């Protein structure tokens, strides 16, 4: 066990506790508490600290003691570092900070207990706590939820699991999903198609995409759906094993992470159903496909795919600078680097939090996680307009999930290096010259937006 060098002593009634100062960011008075419905055991609610919305965890409740009295002047909150930075610890009374004399501390061997050492300080016996183990008491207490899948009750109490990211789209009012690893970009479906003689019914034709011919398959016809034209129609550009193909679909719905336990493969019935499996998403079942279906489509149209190259350039010679997700605010288009994007969700009402910056819309609950939402309208001095197409783009910034409200999501694109022009102005880092320079998109630096947010708070 690593030796503890310094502790903060916390007193509660007749007991004294200590926590390593390495875990502590700052100590402050207790701010206004915003209650949180259905909160985990030990959590009193939410509060604003330094412009950030964090959970207020009552140390007494985690120790099975009477909760801290917020009306007492001695009560304090302790802001934490590293993995616990999204929480603040509510305590009854902060006593003192002392350096540890190793001769007076006894480290305990019990790895399951949150008390990891006993320190003798003057006439006090200090119980030194491991915050990581103490917080496990909060995480282990969940509101039990059950989901019935294929006749069996499925346990959803696991908190940390491996997940995969999918693009969710619609065809004839049905939801389908594609693992995003195979998606190179999404383009508008308003291209002019060159028909291919002797092709199958679902093969729409060829389009020119950055000096290359791309074969486009109408995925709706492939699945037996009616092919209706709409402004929301998109073409998914899929790349697999060095080959590209376009899949024509009705509209884009979402980008979302799903736990592995919610992804059910159906390999035995793939050939008949043309799907790799289903995703259990709350109230819905979403059919998804992966490389197996892509390979089947490529094999069926191999002759056209091979002849679709207009020049001898290979993908290896193409220098792509970044992959972006394009969205609208007002009448202009902007972009985020897709590496920062966790998911896209439909607009939901946020809960306002007192004493926060004006650019913070509030907080929302996404599958049990509290996410702060920031108004890009406010940051760019635009009029806030929310409509049925509005989305929330949830980004992961330094392990913090932050949502940005936008008018609508347009495309996911891979941009060549030659089409990226640096633009270090305010919140922007690049100007993307799309469609041969006819379409200019400002690429935002999310880190600058958040850094500015903190500075303004």
What are 286-298's pLDDT values in tens digits? 888 878 888 888 8
Q: How far apart are CA 72 and CA 13, in angstroms?
A: 13
Which pTM value belongs to this model?
0.46
Q: Which residues of the chain have pLDDT under 50?
A: 140-160, 269-271, 307-317, 453-457
In CATH, 6-139 is 2.40.50.180? yes
- Residue-by-residue DSSP string for 216-233: EEEHHHHTT------TT-
Architecture of domain 163-317: Beta Barrel (2.40)
**Domain range list for the chain:** 6-139, 163-317, 320-456
pLDDT of residue 273: 59
User: What tens digit of pLDDT does each residue of 296-323 get?
Assistant: 888 877 766 654 444 444 444 455 667 8
Q: What is the pLDDT of residue 268?
A: 54
pLDDT (0 to 100) of residue 194:
81
Residues 6+ apart with CB under 8 A from 417: 319, 320, 321
Is the backbone of residue 17 left (phi > 0), alpha (psi -120 to 50) or beta? beta
Cβ–Cβ contacts within 10 Å for residue 96, how many? Answer: 13
pLDDT of residue 311: 40
Q: Which residues contact 456 (CB under 8 A, 6 or more apart)?
A: 51, 357, 359
Report the CATH superfamily, name and number, of domain 320-456.
CheA-289, Domain 4 (2.40.50.180)
Residue the block writes with tokens 């310094």: 6
Residue keyed to tokens 């500015």: 452
Q: Does 320-456 match 163-317 at the fold level?
A: yes
């Amino acid at each position: 066990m690593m030796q503890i060098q310094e502790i903060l002593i916390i007193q509660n009634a007749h007991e004294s506790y200590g926590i390593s100062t390495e875990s502590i960011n700052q100590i402050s008075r207790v701010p206004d508490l915003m209650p949180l419905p259905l909160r985990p055991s030990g959590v009193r609610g939410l509060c604003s600290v330094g412009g950030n919305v964090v959970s207020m965890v009552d140390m007494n409740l985690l120790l099975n003691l009477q909760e801290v009295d917020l009306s007492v002047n001695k009560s304090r909150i302790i802001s934490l570092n590293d993995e616990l930075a999204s929480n603040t610890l509510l305590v009854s009374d902060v006593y003192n900070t002392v350096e540890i004399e190793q001769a007076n501390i006894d480290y305990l061997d019990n790895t399951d207990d949150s008390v990891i050492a006993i320190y003798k300080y003057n006439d006090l016996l200090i119980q030194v706590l491991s915050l990581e183990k103490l917080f496990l008491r909060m995480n282990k207490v969940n509101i039990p939820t059950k989901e019935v899948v294929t006749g069996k009750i499925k346990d959803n109490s696991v908190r940390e699991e491996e997940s995969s990211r999918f693009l969710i789209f619609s065809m004839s009012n049905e939801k389908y999903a594609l693992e995003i690893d195979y998606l190179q970009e999404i383009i508008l479906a308003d291209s002019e198609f060159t028909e291919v003689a002797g092709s199958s019914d679902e093969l729409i034709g060829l389009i020119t995409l950055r000096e290359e011919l791309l074969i486009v398959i109408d995925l709706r016809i492939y699945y037996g759906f009616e092919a209706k034209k709409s402004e929301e129609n998109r073409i998914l550009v899929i790349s697999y094993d060095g080959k590209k193909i376009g899949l024509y679909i009705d509209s884009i719905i979402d980008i979302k992470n799903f736990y592995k336990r919610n992804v059910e493969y159906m390999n035995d019935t793939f050939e008949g159903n043309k799907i790799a499996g289903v995703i259990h998403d709350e109230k819905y079942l979403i059919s998804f496909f992966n490389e197996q279906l892509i390979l089947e489509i490529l094999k069926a149209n191999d002759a056209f795919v091979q002849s679709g190259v207009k020049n001898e350039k290979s993908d290896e010679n193409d220098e792509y600078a970044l992959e972006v997700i394009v969205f609208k605010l007002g009448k202009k288009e902007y972009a985020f680097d897709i590496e920062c994007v966790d998911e896209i969700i439909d607009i939901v009402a946020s809960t306002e939090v007192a004493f926060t910056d004006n650019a913070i819309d509030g907080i929302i609950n996404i599958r049990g996680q509290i996410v702060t939402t920031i108004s890009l309208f406010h940051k760019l001095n635009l009029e806030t307009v929310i409509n049925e197409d509005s989305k929330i783009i949830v980004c992961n910034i330094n392990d913090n999930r932050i949502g940005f409200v936008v008018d609508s999501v347009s495309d996911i694109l891979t941009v060549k290096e030659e089409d990226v022009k640096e633009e270090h102005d305010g919140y922007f880092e690049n100007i993307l010259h799309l469609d041969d320079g006819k379409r200019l998109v400002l690429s935002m630096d999310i880190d600058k937006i958040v850094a500015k947010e903190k500075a303004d708070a």
